[in-house]
Amino acid sequence: MSGAGMIANLTSTGAALTITWQSGEAVTFPAIWLRDNCRCAACRHPGNGQRLYEITDLPATLNIREVARQSDGGIKIVWAPDTHVTNFSESWLTEHDLSASARKSRKKKPTLWSKSIGNAKPVGDWRQMVADPAAELAFLDAYHAHGFGLIRHSPTVPETVLNIGNHLGFVRVTNYGALFDVMSVPNPNNLAFTPIGLGVHSDNPYRDPTPGVQLLHCLESDAPGGDTLLVDGFNSATILRQEDPAAFDLLTRIPVNFRFRAEDAELNARQTLISVDEDGDIVGVHFNNRSLDWLDAPPEMVEPWFAAYRKLADILHRPEGELIFRLEPGDCVVMQNDRALHGRTEFDPSRGRRHLQGCYVDKDGMDSRARVLRRRLAEQKGVAA
C-alpha cells in the first residue's frame, strides 16, 4: 500500500466518519455506507461473501457509537442503536476511498486511437494465448484499453471463431445462429453478405441488448479488396464534443430506432448514438447507417438531431481516424461493439474468394476472463515467492 493511503487521523460525528490520510487528503464515509460494508459472519456469508440481511433489517438511523484504531492499522466501529461491531482493514478503506480524486483514479481510462496507431495496434498470437495465460491477459488488457485487438495464427478451420469466442467469453446465439458466414451470397438479407463496401458501423444496434463484442475470423481472403476499416468511436465522439458540444449532448439524449427485418426476424431497438456515464464520460457509441430506422422525436428536435448525426458521421468518415488493414486467413479481429466501429472496402468475388465467420460474445464474460486470469497469475506468483 502506498504511504498516501495510511490513516493519519479519524474523527466521527456519529453520522459519518472522516479519515485523514497521511497525504493530508481526507474522505468522509457516511455511517450507513460503513455498516453496509460490514463483512462479519452475521452480515455476509463467510464462504461466498453474499449479504445475509435485507436493507430493511438494518436500523433506519445508524450511529457510530465508538471508533478505534487497531494495532494492525485497521479500525473497529461499535454501532448504535445496536451494539454490532464492524472491522475494516486500512487497505480496504484505501481501496474504497469515496473522495472525488480517488473515485476518478479508479476509473479505467480508454486509450484513444486513430489511424496513426498503425502497427502499434493490439495483437495477440493465438498459439501463445492458449499456451500462456500471461500472453492471453496481455492481449485482453490491450484489447480493453483500445476496444479492439487482432488475434493472429488461429486455425484456418471453419467454426474456429466459436472456439475463440467461447475461450474468451460466451458466444451469444442470435437469429443468425451461433456464427454467421460473411461472404457474397445470392439474395442476401443483409448488405454484409454482398461484395459491397460497408461504412464503419456497430453491429446489430437493433438488438436489446446490442451485442457487446464482435469477432470476425478470416478463413479466405484472396479476392481483391475487402480490407478491414476500424474507427475508435470514443475518439470520434470526443472530437464531436470538442467541435460541437450541443450536437454531442443531443446525441446522448435523443434515442433513435433501429430495425432489422428478415423472414424469421423482426428486431427493433431504440437507443442513443452516444452514451455517457454519470460523470459525462463516453461509455458507448452505436452507429449503423444501414439499420437506423426512424427518429421518433418531437418535431422541433428533428433538424438539430439530423445535423448532429451528420456531424458525427462526418467525423467517423475522416481518413485520419480510420485504421485500414487486411485480414489474412487465421486472423480474428475482436471488437468492442459499442466502441470500435468496423467496415470494409468493396471486394471482387469474381477474382478470388473472401470468407469470414463472425460471432458475438457478451462484454461481461470477457471482462471476467481478464480478472480471473489476473487473479490466477497473482496466486501463482504468491505460491512461487
Decide if 124 contacts 136 (C-beta within 8 A). Answer: yes
Query: From the list ligand OGA, Zn ion, none, which binds 247 (C-beta under 5 to 8 Å, kind-based)?
Result: none
Decide if 343 contacts 285 (C-beta within 8 A). Answer: no
Task: Pick from 97, 136, 203, 338 the residue near Zn ion by CB under 5 A.
Answer: 203
Report, in Å, the least distance between residue 369 CB and ligand OGA: 23
Q: Which is nearer to Zn ion, 79 or 143 (CB)?
A: 79
Q: What is the DSSP string of 200-257?
A: EE-S-TTSSSPPSEEEEEEEEE-SSB--EEEEEHHHHHHHHHHH-HHHHHHHHH--EE
Query: From the list Zn ion, ligand OGA, none, which binds 344 (C-beta under 5 to 8 Å, kind-based)?
Result: ligand OGA
Report, in Å, the least distance between residue 58 CB and ligand OGA: 49
Contact between 361 and ligand OGA per CB under 6 A: no
Q: Which is nearer to ligand OGA, 48 or 187 (CB)?
A: 187
Contacts of 320 (CB under 8 A, 6+ apart): 114, 115, 116
Place of cell 496507431: 117
Cell numbers found for residue 49: 461473501
Contact between 338 and Zn ion per CB under 5 A: no
Interacting positions 177-216 with ligand OGA (CB under 6 A): 182, 192, 198, 203, 216
Contact between 221 and ligand OGA per CB under 6 A: no
Strands 123-125 and 148-152: parallel
For the chain, the first-to-last Cα distance in angstroms comes to 18
Q: Which is nearer to Zn ion, 82 or 243 (CB)?
A: 82
Contact between 356 and ligand OGA per CB under 6 A: yes
Contact between 38 and Zn ion per CB under 5 A: yes
Task: Pick from 146, 207, 339, 344 the residue near ligand OGA by CB under 6 A.
Answer: 344
Q: Exposure of 109 by Cβ count < 10 A (0-12 exposed, 13-18 middle, 19+ buried)?
A: exposed
Report, in Å, the least distance between residue 345 CB and ligand OGA: 9
Query: From the list ligand OGA, Zn ion, none, which binds 40 (C-beta under 5 to 8 Å, kind-based)?
Result: Zn ion
Interacting positions 106-165 with ligand OGA (CB under 6 A): none
Distance of CA 275 to the CA centre of its chain: 12
Task: Pick from 154, 160, 221, 228 the residue near ligand OGA by CB under 6 A.
Answer: 228
Strand partners, 67: 77
Only segment of 20-28, 37-45, 302-310, 376-384 that touches Zn ion (CB under 5 A): 37-45
Query: What does residue 125 show for φ and ψ, rounded to 5 degrees?
Result: -105, 120
Q: Between the CA of residue 6 and those of 26, 37, 71, 314, 318, what are the distances in Å? A: 11, 20, 13, 50, 49
Contacts with Zn ion, residue ranges (CB under 5 A)? 38, 40, 43, 203
Contacts with ligand OGA, residue ranges (CB under 6 A)? 182, 192, 198, 203, 216, 228, 342, 344, 356, 358
